[in-house]
Amino acid sequence: MKASHKLIHWTPRIICILAILFVSIFALDAFNPEKTTWQQIGDFFIHLIPSYVLTILLIIAWKREFIGGIIFIVIGIGCSPFIFIHNYNMNQSVWMSLLIILMITVPFIIAGILFIVSYKMKKRNLNAP
């Protein structure tokens, strides 16, 4: 496998892992000194549900790049309006909300595109004489 193929193969996987870790940081909001330790731990695991789902989707994309690429693009585009509206209601800033979209959903869209590119490159190499 050429270096460029390896780069296209590994880049979406690394982007997804880093993006999932970034999304997981938001689960730290669950820790509140007014709650018991067990309530905080329970809330923490509940706040990690998006990370669990994204990890499962990454496993699917790892094995089925084309399907995974489509899933990540749809998730990135589909979640963007909801995240934008939520953040706009909190901070009343269009630019801040767009920046948050850029940080949270765009990495998944880019990873999805790269998964599809990787799939197409591998398919082309298999069909080459």
Residue 83: domain span? 3-127
Q: How many distinct structural domains can be found in the chain?
A: 1
Q: What is the 3-state secondary structure (H, E, C) of 112-128?
A: HHHHHHHHHHHHHHHHC
Compute the distance between CA of residue 38 and CA of residue 126 in angstroms, rounded to an integer. 53
Q: What percent of the chain has pLDDT over 70?
A: 98
Tell me the three state secondary structure of residue 129: coil
Read off the DSSP letter of residue 61: H
By the 8 A CB rule, do 115 and 66 touch?
yes
Q: Report pLDDT digits (tens) over 53-112.
A: 999 999 999 999 999 999 999 999 999 999 999 999 999 999 999 999 999 999 999 999
